[in-house]
Amino acid sequence: MTLEEIKALRSEPWREELRKAVSPKERGAIERVKMNELTPEYRVTTFTEEVNQGLTKEQALLEAKRCLDCADPSCMKGCPVSINIPTFIKNIERGEFLEAAHVLKETSSLPAVCGRVCPQEKQCESQCIKLKMKQQPVAIGYLERFAADYERESGQMQAPKCAPKNGKKVAVVGSGPSGLAFSADMIKLGYEVTVFEALHEIGGVLKYGIPEFRLPNKIVDAEINVLREMGVNFQPDVIVGKTISYDQLHEMGFDGIFVGSGAGLPRFMNIPGENAIGVMSSNEYLTRINLMGAGRGLGDTPVLKGKNVAVIGGGNTAMDSARTARRMGAERVMLVYRRSMDEMPARKEEVHHALEEGIEFMTLHNPIEYHADENGRVNEMVLQVMELGEPDASGRRSPVPVEGKTETLPADLVIVAVGVSPNPIIPNAISALETSRKGTIVVNEETLQSSVSDLFAGGDIVRGGATVILAMGDGRRAAANMHSYLSAR
């Protein structure tokens, strides 16, 4: 959207009127809304009930008033997909909630998801003008979630209109946010879209990774169902590069391929004792519980439980694992992170919720060895005490071991959440595909086209681990560019 278009929308009469109705000073005096939450004591007893309960209508109307409807809305620059933030917020302020949802849908195909999981404080909200005015930023994420939830709950969720079929077929590899966003745009443009997913469920990390207490499956499914209604064909249990090859996709008549296969390969630290029973990757732990329903009476798959659980890492995945362990009944959950609180990459809200739920944060500690009992089950971890040294390339102060200072603590379940690498299946299967040293697919940064001209890629397989909204933004950009490419051909 150009600044001209943003301005044109802003000068519609209803918005002029709305702006005049309340003075900036009055708007500035309203306090930022607080999210309604389940109490920490209650929520650790339930796996599926969402911690954040959403805003009420009254809260949303009031929070929307705080937004100044800026002439040059800086918040939009913080949103990777440039959602027209003031336009959707002002629609909330005037009570047109469905219209607000439609504004969101113009740019984001999964607003109910992003409103819940975006690191808003680092993105849109970090650029809100109110921060410069020494006020709290507008709660853009909460409002986004409110509008999207309102639309879904109203039963008036409508599938966007699709252009007449153009006779071209595209294949999507992976059903995570990048693949879903790509599919939404391509089906609208008139393409026949088939999504191939390796797992038996559609949704990628949204389903197997992020737990239900943060992102309920029914929210993800509702968004997927809209895509189904629009005609997107989902094929679970198909691994591109294994079940069908790149050449076979061509034989099947696909004109273009989008790869959104994610960063699914878990990293381990390669320290002694790491293969003991009870030491597992966060992917394994979360997949067993979220995807397979283990420990929740929802399936036949088992998952190990622990009394003293240690989670290694400081990202969203670590927080989700720790909070999940708490809900699985652990007595003590320790989060072991080698840097300090300030460097922790997880979302602030996540850290806050984890602390409230009684997770012990052991910052400036790093595991160096695990011990096991006679059955091979882990029972202790040896932690190296760390301190912060000089800033490294990323600008963060790097952790250095404090010579000779270690601690040994009991731990009967250790969840390793120290990062993931790009999924190697597609790069291994298509030899002409250029990849980086880290194993990510190399693409043209503008168009997301790879070295194989009819193959575009985005999301974590290109970025090597990012966010839902960045993955979605990639999906949309790849759709636009593949459309130009296929139209010109």
Partner 1 sequence: MNKILSKKMFSEKVACLEVEAPLIARSRKAGHFVIVRIDERGERIPLTIADADIQKGTITLVVQAVGASSTRITQLEPGDVLHDVVGPLGHATDIQKYGTVVCCGGGVGVAPLYPIVKAMHEAGNRVIVVLAARTKDLIILEDEMRAASDEVIIMTDDGSYGTKGLVTNGVETVINREKVDKVVCIGPTIMMKFVALLTKKYDISTIVSLNTIMVDGTGMCGACRVSVGGKTKFVCVDGPEFDAHEVDFDEMMMRMRAYKADEVEAMSKLNA
Give residues in contact with partner 1 (CB under 8 A).
198-200, 236-239, 242-245, 264-266, 268, 270, 274-275, 277-278, 280-281, 283-284, 287-288, 292-293, 298-302, 304, 375-376, 423-425
Residue nearer to ligand FAD on the CB measure, 76 or 198? 198
Q: CB of residue 232 vs ligand SF4: minimum separation in angstroms?
A: 21
Tell me which amino acid residue 414 is. Answer: V
Q: Which does 268 bind (CB under 5 to 8 A by kind): partner 1, ligand FAD, ligand SF4, none?
A: partner 1
Q: CB of residue 369 vs partner 1: minimum separation in angstroms?
A: 15
**By CB under 6 A, is residue 212 in contact with ligand FAD?**
no
Which residue from 261, 309, 266, 306 is spatially nearest to 284, judged by alpha carbons?
266
280 Cβ contact list (under 8 Å, min separation 6): 304, 413, 414, 415, 416
* Total binding residues toward ligand FAD, as defined by CB under 6 A: 41
Residue nearer to ligand SF4 on the CB measure, 7 or 250? 7
Interface residue with ligand FAD among 209, 273, 367, 422 (CB under 6 A) is 209
Q: CB of residue 389 vs ligand SF4: minimum separation in angstroms?
A: 33
Site for ligand FAD in 307-366 (CB under 6 A): 316-317, 320, 347
Interface residue with ligand SF4 among 6, 51, 118, 328 (CB under 6 A) is 118
Token pair in block for residue 151: 């639309």
Q: CB of residue 181 vs ligand FAD: minimum separation in angstroms?
A: 8
Q: CB of residue 134 vs ligand SF4: minimum separation in angstroms?
A: 13
Q: Which stretch binds ligand SF4 (CB under 6 A): 47-55, 117-125, 308-316, 372-380?
A: 117-125
Whole-angstrom Cα distance, residue 248 to residue 257? 12
**By CB under 6 A, is residue 423 in contact with ligand FAD?**
yes
Which residue from 294, 311, 316, 264 is spatially nearest to 409, judged by alpha carbons?
311
308 Cβ contact list (under 8 Å, min separation 6): 330, 331, 332, 334, 409, 410, 411, 412, 413
Site for ligand SF4 in 128-167 (CB under 6 A): 128-130, 138, 140-141, 144
Q: CB of residue 169 vs ligand SF4: minimum separation in angstroms?
A: 30
Q: Which does 312 bind (CB under 5 to 8 A by kind): ligand SF4, ligand FAD, partner 1, none?
A: none
**By CB under 6 A, is residue 172 in contact with ligand FAD?**
no
Tokens 């306090």 -> residue: 31
Compute and round to an integer the Cα radius of gyration of the chain: 23
With beta carbons less than 8 A apart as the criterion, state whether 207 and 394 touch: no
423-437 exposure pattern, b = at least 16 Cβ within 10 A, e = fewer:
bebbbeebeebebee
Q: Which stretch binds ligand SF4 (CB under 6 A): 124-132, 159-167, 285-293, 352-360?
A: 124-132
Q: CB of residue 242 vs partner 1: minimum separation in angstroms?
A: 6
With 0-12 CB in 10 A as exposed, 13-18 as middle and 19+ as buried, what is 167?
exposed
Residue nearer to ligand FAD on the CB measure, 220 or 364? 220
Whole-angstrom Cα distance, residue 319 to residue 352? 10
Token pair in block for residue 216: 């309920």
- φ, ψ dihedrals at 13, nearest 5°: -55, -40
Q: CB of residue 150 vs ligand SF4: minimum separation in angstroms?
A: 15
Q: CB of residue 171 vs partner 1: minimum separation in angstroms?
A: 14
Whole-angstrom Cα distance, residue 484 to residue 447? 10
CA angle 146, 149, 154 (to 5 degrees): 120
Q: Which does 284 bind (CB under 5 to 8 A by kind): partner 1, ligand FAD, ligand SF4, none?
A: partner 1
With beta carbons less than 8 A apart as the criterion, state whether 326 and 355 touch: no
Q: Which does 399 bind (CB under 5 to 8 A by kind): ligand SF4, partner 1, ligand FAD, none?
A: none
**DSSP β-bridge partners for residue 455:** 257
| Cβ contacts of 13-16, under 8 Å, gap ≥ 24 | 14/94, 15/69, 15/90
**DSSP β-bridge partners for residue 258:** 172, 456
Whole-angstrom Cα distance, residue 231 to residue 434? 32
Interface residue with ligand SF4 among 44, 68, 249, 310 (CB under 6 A) is 68
Binding site residues, ligand FAD, CB under 6 A:
117-119, 173-179, 196-199, 204-205, 209-210, 239-241, 260-262, 264, 286, 316-317, 320, 347, 423, 425-426, 459-461, 466-469, 471
